[in-house]
Amino acid sequence: MLLPLFLIFIVVLSAARKSLNTDARASRKALGNFYAADPSDRVHSFAIHDNNTIVMDQASQFVVFHIARPCCDYYPGSTDGGGHRLPGGLFSHFYGKWMKFCSIIIDKVWFSATTTILTLYALFGDDIRMACFDPSADSAFNTITIICLVVFALEIVFQSFGKPEYFGGFFFLLDVLSSASLILDLTYVAEDLFGDGSGAAGQGDVARAGRMSRAGTKAGRVVRIIRLIRLIRIAKMYKAFLDAQQREARHKEEQRRARSATAPLDDDESGEEEEGEEGFDSDSQSDISEDFLEDFDPAEGLDMESVEPESRVGKKLSERTTQKLIILILLMLFMIPVFTISDIVPQSAQYGVDSMYTSYIEYVQECLASGQLSVETLARRSLYTNKLFHFLYAHNWESRETDCPGGNTVCVSSYVSHLAWIGYYTEGTDPCWTHPHLDNITARDIRLEFDDTFNGDDFLVYSGDLGDLAVERIIKPWASCAGDPAVPDGVRGTSLVSDIECPSDLRFNERTAVLPLLRKETDPDNFNTYFILVMDDRLKAYWAAVLNMCQTLFICLVLGVGALFFARDANVLVLGPIERMMVKLTRIRDNPLMATMLGDEEFRREETARAKEAARQAKTGLSKLWDIITFQRTQSTVGGHEPLETVMLEKTIIKIGSLLALGFGEAGAEIIGKNMQGAERSAGVNAMIPGRKVEAVFGFCDIRNFTDATEVLNDKVMVFVNQIGQIVHGIVDEFHGAANKNIGDAFLLVWRLPEDNPEQRKKMCDMAIMSFVKVVAAVNKSPVLYEYRKHPGLQARLENYRVRMGFGMHCGWAIEGAIGSEFKIDASYLSPNVNLAGSLEGATKEYGVCMLLSGPIVESCNEDMRKHCRIIDRVMINGAKMGLYTVDIVYEDLPIVESTPRKSNADRRGGPSAQRARARQERAARKANKLASTYRVADLFDHDEDLIEMRKVFTKEFFDKFDTGFRNYEAGEWEIAYSMLSVSEKLLASEGYVDGPSASLKRHMDRYDRKAPEGWSGARDLP
């Protein structure tokens, strides 16, 4: 009854889903046609009223579309036929809420825990019942089984409506089968299907029923294995839940890190990196400890093996591998019993009952012919008695508790089946036919004889004492078990076991009915007489239950380990690299500037793999054997000397990402990110995205005498520029700036200013100024650039040549975006503020300084940085006054850093790649340290040896005289100003240097005969 109801339930469920889906598709199609006919951008509102979907124009409030049904879909946020996003109001109230309810229920921990517990019961409950409980507990287990059926049916419903792609899928079918198999665990259902049913059948059907019972029990156990699939699916759901929890925790941790530090931008180093960086290595100038450098990991959170969830390809392959493995194991479990012959081999019980039946028929025939007391009759009776006792001792139930003497003796106690009940049926009424029980005196005498025989040295079998209870019951007239479903009506018999009165006291799978086969199915001549023996199989059922539980556990292990190892090669060779590629692409999409970090992460991963391989090679004995058994050699030996295509593709992605980050820079990060975010929908590239307004510090630096250097160096001028760029970009990056454009002899550098953090804005301005000061020091200390001072061509062209640079800096707004066309774009900034930075750099030649800073940038700095900036002029920019500042430094006396001799690859730790990775890590550590609240940029003026050396000639007297002269110049008192500026100029000249700003102001005053022109406002045009 339950099985048809369950099947009807599944059919109704399928029909309901199909009807709702058809209705939803019709609604979506109608709505899509509406959008196709009205492609305008009008804003519509949606509502469901009286089971109708209504679309209204919000401007006119007119109904523009109507469907006479609720427009429903599986999940909110899906699209209609026109590609428009459907709001939640379009969903059927009932269907939408029902699906949401189903989705919520299946995600609840308590529901998953309940189904898991009930699944474990479904796997082991029936075996526990057979192994540990007597038949009185069957009703309780039946109740739990019915609860399981109900819960599993509800789960199938919830999964069908609340989980996409579940209904009609592989696991849906297996869930239905596994749930339906629970019906076989109901004892009354199993007994009706597989029980012997002797009471309702004829005597000839009893033997066939017994064989059917054994086959049905075995089939039920095999079908129960299908329930393992539920456990596997629940395990996968639990793993997915844990993965989601871990991803959420990692996401929060990454957000915390993002708030505490910015992502570094590293530039690709040339082959001369080691020498180039020596000129500006500020490791000794910062307060970073060695412990900090060791612990700091700029790519922390980029672990390609553990951070990201499994890819869709990996999930699909894992599912298909698991499905095929499940089908393979189920086929084996179902088919192997078909090829066994154990059930058709004759058993001792069958031989015994045939022997007893034959001897008894011979006794009855002799009794009818000669009388009960004839010698021949008594001899036949004695033969029947002997055979009965032979069978009783050979299947002695009492021997189960008897110790076996050991040796070569075979003990009956080792058998798993013993005689529990013996019955007899006849339609004859003559005393010869109705006397299967034994006479009292004869039975006791023979019992003594058989006890000595079976317990002594006569036979190799040891059966123990028969027991008083068995003897007492065997000699009394046998009684009828009227109404017992386990035996046919009219059978009289007796139990040889104290706790059993009739066969039905045993479960159907704890008993086996054995009838004689050496007879006719209908034998009127012998009054249809036959014996029936019921064997007690409780011990057999116990061990069958225990072994079945072990089999279940073993299959769980095989399915789990098998699925793991079957997919291992695919994971190692294909899925692992693909998932790492997806992680890298996701990182590039989320933060394109992180792309340059991926090379270092890949290098660390390779170093870890090499270390593991070295450790594996050092293993010996059992450790190596275990690695071979578990296929640990796969990773190290795959591919031989040639890299796999997936490895090549992975490294190519890293290089392309790094080149994108280097090519587009910080300004192009949004271009890269937006195009990669749309990669799932289209392969097209839209580089011309709208620009956005940002606030930033713009720095412009220029290489002096570049035209002459180009003519002298020719093709080597590229190396020359890159050596300078290596220093400039490296220091700017360390001070949280970014290189934007390289224009021959000039570099545009940018420091973005945060909008909502005033203190951070000040620090960024401080770092922008300090980076230019450090660049000047690094350029003049670099042993690589020092070589150009000795270049014959340059010295012949330019006397006392050395690499000199000019710097201009300003801050303000700019439009960040792509500039160009579909043929070529540059990611850069458009603004008058950017151009002003270039103009300031050009004016450095007029003022005789290496850097000019605008008033806004100096005013945006911290007070302790402003005091190191000297105002040298005030100019008119777009009709407004703006002060010009400089940081006074002289660099001619800086010592050259000694060049470290190149080491051979054998001496380098990891080679050039390792050196570059280490340099990046140290620079990233210094960069992160500069964002600390305790780090004050201006303190470098007091503690950095290079800065102290470059500013030692600038005394307080010099600054006071210049300041007095500048104030008078600004106020129009040019005679006094000229005099004071001459004093300041002489103070610096006494140290062997020229004060360019003093000379520039004096030249300007000389043009007007040292008299301020009429209408003097204190500012002039930018020279």
What 3-state class would DSSP assign to 136?
Answer: helix
Asked whether residue 127 carries a pLDDT value surpassing 90, the answer given is no
Q: Let me know whether 326 and 409 are in one domain.
A: no
Is the CA virtual torsion 619, 620, 622, 627 positive or negative?
positive
Q: With contact defined as beta carbons under 8 Å apart, do 825 and 660 qualify?
A: no
- Tell me the CA distances in angstroms from 332 to 217, 222, 226, 228, 1001, one per residue in order: 17, 10, 12, 15, 99
Mean pLDDT score, 375-393: 88
Alpha helices, H only, 182-297: 187-194, 205-224, 228-260, 273-278, 290-295
Q: How far apart are CA 193 and CA 189, in angstroms?
A: 6
Q: With contact defined as beta carbons under 8 Å apart, do 507 and 541 qualify?
A: yes
Residues contacting 50, CB < 8 A, separation 6+? none
Q: Tens digits of per-residue pLDDT, 576-593?
A: 778 778 777 777 777 766
pLDDT the model gives residue 329: 73
Asked whether residue 357 carries a pLDDT value surpassing 80, the answer given is yes
Q: Let me know whether 137 and 235 are in one domain.
A: yes
H or E segment at 811?
A: strand 805-820
pLDDT the model gives residue 704: 93
Q: Let me know whether 657 and 722 are in one domain.
A: no
Closest by Cα among 198, 197, 203, 199 to 521: 203
Most confident of 92-106, 122-136, 201-215, 761-775: 761-775
pLDDT the model gives residue 291: 41
Asked whether residue 223 carries a pLDDT value surpassing 70, the answer given is no
Using pLDDT thresholds of 50, 70 and 90, give the confidence band for residue 639: very low
- Tell me the CA distances in angstroms from 843 to 115, 751, 884, one per residue in order: 78, 22, 10
* 336 vs 698, more confident: 698
Asked whether residue 853 carries a pLDDT value surpassing 90, the answer given is yes
Mean pLDDT score, 416-444: 83
Last residue of a domain, one of 98, 125, 147: 98
What are the backbone dihedrals phi and psi of residue 186, each rounded to the nearest 5 degrees, phi first? -70, 120
Asked whether residue 1007 carries a pLDDT value surpassing 80, the answer given is yes
Residue 312 falls inside a structural domain = no
Q: In residues, how long is the chain?
A: 1023
Q: With contact defined as beta carbons under 8 Å apart, do 307 and 250 qualify?
A: yes
Q: Let me know whether 702 and 841 are in one domain.
A: yes
What 3-state class would DSSP assign to 681?
Answer: coil
Using pLDDT thresholds of 50, 70 and 90, give the confidence band for residue 278: very low
- Tell me the CA distances in angstroms from 22 to 26, 85, 158, one per residue in order: 6, 19, 20
Q: Tens digits of per-residue pLDDT, 142-171?
A: 999 999 889 888 888 888 888 777 788 777
| Residue written as token pair 């199989």 | 537
Q: Is the whole model's pTM more than 0.75, yes or no? A: no
Q: Let me know whether 10 and 146 are in one domain.
A: no
Residue 301 falls inside a structural domain = no
Q: With contact defined as beta carbons under 8 Å apart, do 27 and 74 qualify?
A: no
What 3-state class would DSSP assign to 877?
Answer: strand
pLDDT the model gives residue 660: 73
* 91 vs 997, more confident: 997
Q: How far apart are CA 172 and CA 167, in angstroms?
A: 6
Q: Let me know whether 840 and 748 are in one domain.
A: yes
User: CB-based burial of residue 756 (10 Å sphere; 0-12 exposed, 13-18 middle, 19+ buried)?
Assistant: exposed
Residues contacting 126, CB < 8 A, separation 6+? 141, 185, 224, 545
Closest by Cα among 459, 446, 488 to 394: 459
- CA atoms within 13 Å, Cβ hemisphere of 909: 5
Residues contacting 45, CB < 8 A, separation 6+? 55, 56, 58
Range of the domain at 126: 108-197+210-256+319-337
Alpha helices, H only, 133-204: 138-162, 170-181, 187-194
Query: H/E/C letters for each residue in 472-501?
Result: HHHHCCCEECCCCCCCCCCCEEEECCCCCC
* 30 vs 381, more confident: 381
* 572 vs 678, more confident: 572
pLDDT the model gives residue 203: 47
Last residue of a domain, one of 497, 524, 541: 541
* Lookup: tokens for 619: 């293993």
User: CB-based burial of residue 284 (10 Å sphere; 0-12 exposed, 13-18 middle, 19+ buried)?
Assistant: exposed
Q: How far apart are CA 692 and CA 815, in angstroms?
A: 5
Last residue of a domain, one of 303, 337, 371: 337
pLDDT the model gives residue 389: 84
Q: Let me know whether 474 and 531 are in one domain.
A: yes
Q: How many CB atoms lie within 10 A of CB 769?
A: 28
Residue 771 falls inside a structural domain = yes
* 85 vs 843, more confident: 843
H or E segment at 751?
A: strand 746-752
Is the CA virtual torsion 644, 649, 650, 652 positive or negative?
positive
Residue 151 falls inside a structural domain = yes
* 834 vs 58, more confident: 834
Q: How far apart are CA 114 and CA 237, in angstroms?
A: 13
Most confident of 97-111, 185-199, 911-925: 97-111
Q: Let me know whether 893 and 777 are in one domain.
A: yes
* 966 vs 245, more confident: 966
pLDDT the model gives residue 8: 59
What 3-state class would DSSP assign to 220?
Answer: helix
Closest by Cα among 92, 89, 88, 87 to 26: 92
* 21 vs 504, more confident: 504
Is the CA virtual torsion 168, 169, 170, 176 positive or negative?
negative
Residue 645 falls inside a structural domain = yes
* Lookup: tokens for 470: 């068995």
What 3-state class would DSSP assign to 534?
Answer: strand
Q: Let me know whether 925 and 845 are in one domain.
A: yes
Q: Let me know whether 632 and 700 are in one domain.
A: no
pLDDT the model gives residue 897: 85
- Give the start-end residues of each E strand in 903-997: none
Using pLDDT thresholds of 50, 70 and 90, give the confidence band for residue 37: very low
Residue 671 falls inside a structural domain = no
Q: Let me know whether 16 and 84 are in one domain.
A: yes
Mean pLDDT score, 41-64: 44
Q: What is the CATH number of the domain that holds 791?
A: 3.30.70.1230
What are the backbone dihedrals phi and psi of residue 717, each rounded to the nearest 5 degrees, phi first? -70, -25
Q: Let me know whether 754 and 629 are in one domain.
A: no
Mean pLDDT score, 846-864: 95
Number of independent structural domains in the chain = 6
Residue 610 falls inside a structural domain = yes
Residue 943 falls inside a structural domain = yes
Q: With contact defined as beta carbons under 8 Å apart, do 434 and 428 qualify?
A: yes
Q: Tens digits of per-residue pLDDT, 980-997?
A: 999 999 999 988 899 999
Share above pLDDT 70 across residues of the chain, in percent, rounded to a whole number: 67
pLDDT the model gives residue 254: 57
Q: How far apart are CA 529 and CA 436, in angstroms?
A: 11
Mean pLDDT score, 751-770: 93
Q: How far apart are CA 724 and CA 743, in angstroms?
A: 13
Using pLDDT thresholds of 50, 70 and 90, give the confidence band for residue 646: confident
